Amino acid sequence: MAEGFPELTDRLIAFIRQQKVFFVATAPADLNQTVNVSPKGYDCLRILDAKTVAYFDFPGSGNETATHIKDNGRLTMMFCSFGSKPMTLRLYGKGEVVERKTERFQELLKQCGEGVLPWIRQLIILHLDEARTSCGYSVPQLEFVAERPTYRRYCEENAPKGKLDEYM
């Protein structure tokens, strides 16, 4: 049965921390433009408090998420269990983009703790309005094998050449 929450509970936080992938969705104010849905992996998500979630946004195939957030502020995150206990969790709220070269970025980076990959384009913050669960019964059960090494390898090869800074 679906439930709604004004903030993250211990149970929801534990569920989020178990997931190896999550999805972010944004849309521009102009409804004639496309909605953007992006998968996120690696250990890039941090729960700052019961109403605030952040993730490290890595350089990739565009910057639609940040563009849409700057346009209208809307951001949704979705987590779904691929394990034996099904559940889907959506976080709805206002997004905030924290640029890499700002003082606030550096402060948040310290708050996010250990394990941060150095190739971060920006931080995306979700200021939670509501969290909603649903059953997730139709989501297939899958087994996590490993993170793909491709992104990490690409960054390690290109960062010393200045290509990542150029791209970002």
CATH number at residue 124: 2.30.110.10
pLDDT at residue 50, rounded to an integer:
98
Q: Which residue has the higher pLDDT, 121 or 162?
A: 121
Q: Is 161 a residue whose pLDDT tops 80?
A: no
Give the domain range for residue 46: 3-167
Q: Is 91 a residue whose pLDDT tops 80?
A: yes
The 3-class SS string of the chain reads CCEEECCCCHHHHHHHHHCCCEEEEECCCCCCCCCEEEEECCCCEEEEECCEEEEEECCCCCCHHHHHHHHHCEEEEEEECCCCCCCEEEEEEEEEEEECCCHHHHHHHHHHCCCCCCCCCEEEEEEEEEEEEECCCCCCCCCCCCCCCHHHHHHHHHCCCCHHHHHC
pTM: 0.91
pLDDT grade for 37, boundaries at 50, 70 and 90:
very high
pLDDT at residue 166, rounded to an integer:
65
pLDDT at residue 168, rounded to an integer:
61
pLDDT grade for 116, boundaries at 50, 70 and 90:
confident
Average pLDDT, the chain: 90
Number of domains the chain contains: 1
Q: Render pLDDT for 58-85 as a digit per residue (tens, 0 to 9).
A: 877 678 999 999 999 999 999 999 999 9
